[in-house]
Amino acid sequence: MGSISEDIRLELLRQHGSFPIAYSVAFQPGLRHFGDEKGFMAYKMVGRTAFVLADPVAEPDHHEALIDGFLARHSDVVFCQVSLKTAEILSKRSFFVNDFGCESIVDLKRFSFRGPQLRSYRTASNRLTARGYKVSETPAGDFNPADLQAISQAWKSTRVARNRDLRFLVRPVVLADEPGVRKFFLLNSDGAPEGFAVFDPVYEKGQPTGYLSATRRWLPTSDPLAAYFMVRTAIETFQAEGVAHLHLGLSPFHKIEDRTFEKNWLVRRGFRWMYTNSLINRFVYPFQSLVRHKTSYGGEDRQTYYAFNTLPSLPRLLKLMWVCRLV
């Protein structure tokens, strides 16, 4: 099994990319791919450890064979953000399996912006519209790339991880058009972009059934509620199209219980420490504030899993932080 062309990955994605970060598995820069025209997995080597991102993109009946083929080539393997089904496969192959955190899914057929928790979205639409702003789904190629890069850099300067883009678990932003990806731009009264929101497609049998809210960036000088205006416009667009779900992505280490599989105690303590430590939340990654924001949508939480087969576990936790660019 060698490299897989972008065309094959795109076709497999459209047929089997039914989980939130399938697009990232297929197209995130810097990842290797293992598989063939029947399916593939994405991974990154850190020393001798192979870090696999999420589930295989393949027919469900082909997942076990694909995983076994990968394990025949790599003895030290870590799987990150996998589903329950993949966790069950790995548990049978003597992997330690720990809860990794929840993915949030919003049912767009039932969702509305009514209620006190979502007041900010209504305020954002009214206030920015009155100031002459609008949100437009426009090809990225219609804008000057330097303008989009300036928005991205200015936004990063206000974040905890201001000097780096997170990777692996988070797909780095692409300031260009991408197949199937939806991009909404905040335009001021002069028609100049001041922000953008990116939504990756989630497929089933060739059709997009949902979108992952992948990236939102805006100028620090824009209205503080700019992101709410962009997200509301995108959601209402998806609802008008009959799209079933909005995926809000992973809340790392949220609702960890570790009751299903044989866990590793040090991994559990490490995840809990990162989630609860105030300094980590302030200077490394805002785990808890992310959860509070996603909870306001009232979506469904689905647990994901972290699985590994080689001890000791601490070096692999440190490698995980490095591969995600948390350190």
- The answer to whether 319 touches 77, Cβ cutoff 8 Å, is no
DSSP conformational letter for 172: P
| Euclidean distance between CA atoms 172 and 154, whole angstroms | 16
| 3-state secondary structure at position 308 | strand
> pLDDT > 70: what percent of the chain?
98
| Euclidean distance between CA atoms 193 and 147, whole angstroms | 8
| Euclidean distance between CA atoms 165 and 69, whole angstroms | 32
> pLDDT > 90: what percent of the chain?
92
pLDDT of residue 97: 98
Q: Say whether pLDDT at 38 is over 70.
A: yes
Phi-psi region of 48 (alpha: psi -120 to 50; beta: other; left: phi over 0): alpha
Q: Is the peptide bond before 220 cis (omega within 30 degrees of 0)?
A: no
Type of residue at 52? V
| Euclidean distance between CA atoms 178 and 170, whole angstroms | 16
Q: Say whether pLDDT at 266 is over 70.
A: yes
| Euclidean distance between CA atoms 57 and 182, whole angstroms | 21
- The answer to whether 183 touches 204, Cβ cutoff 8 Å, is no
**pLDDT tens per residue across span 193-236:** 999 999 999 999 999 999 999 999 999 999 999 999 999 999 99
Long-range contacts of 28-36 (CB under 8 A, 24+ apart): 28/53, 28/167, 28/168, 28/171, 28/172, 29/172, 30/167, 31/168, 33/3, 33/4, 33/9, 34/1, 34/66, 34/69, 34/70, 34/73, 35/1, 35/4, 35/66, 36/1, 36/2, 36/4
Instruction: Say what angle helices 226-241 and 119-130 make with each other, to 10 degrees.
Output: 100
Which residues, 6+ apart, have CB-to-CB distance to 234 below 8 Å? 135, 137, 182, 184, 197, 199, 211, 213
Q: Which residues of 283-303 are buried (b: 16+ CB within 10 A; e: fewer)?
A: eebbbbebbeebeebebebbb
Over residues 169-176, the mean pLDDT reads: 95
Over residues 288-303, the mean pLDDT reads: 93
| Euclidean distance between CA atoms 260 and 212, whole angstroms | 27
| 3-state secondary structure at position 223 | coil
Q: Say whether pLDDT at 250 is over 90.
A: yes
pLDDT of residue 158: 85
- Of these ranges, 52-66, 108-122, 290-304, 313-327, the one predicted with the greatest mean pLDDT is 52-66
Q: What are phi and psi of 280, to 5 degrees?
A: -60, -45
| Euclidean distance between CA atoms 143 and 163, whole angstroms | 25
Q: Say whether pLDDT at 161 is over 70.
A: no
- Name the average pLDDT for the chain: 95
Q: Say whether pLDDT at 124 is over 70.
A: yes
- Sketch out the chain's domains with CATH numbers: 6-102+255-293+303-323 (3.40.630), 106-248 (3.40.630.30)
Confidence of residue 128 (pLDDT cuts 50, 70, 90): very high
pLDDT of residue 165: 75
pLDDT of residue 203: 98
Q: Is 224 exposed, middle or buried (0-12, 13-18, 19+ CB in 10 A)?
A: exposed
- Which residues does residue 198 pair with via DSSP β-bridges, in sequence order? 183, 215
Confidence of residue 1 (pLDDT cuts 50, 70, 90): low
**Of the ranges 8-12, 184-188, 284-288, which one carries the lowest mean pLDDT score?**
284-288
pLDDT of residue 327: 74
Mark out the alpha helices in the chain (DSSP H runs).
6-16, 22-27, 63-73, 84-91, 119-130, 145-156, 226-241, 265-276, 278-283, 287-295, 314-323
Q: Say whether pLDDT at 183 is over 90.
A: yes
Confidence of residue 117 (pLDDT cuts 50, 70, 90): confident
pLDDT of residue 2: 60
Q: Say whether pLDDT at 163 is over 90.
A: no
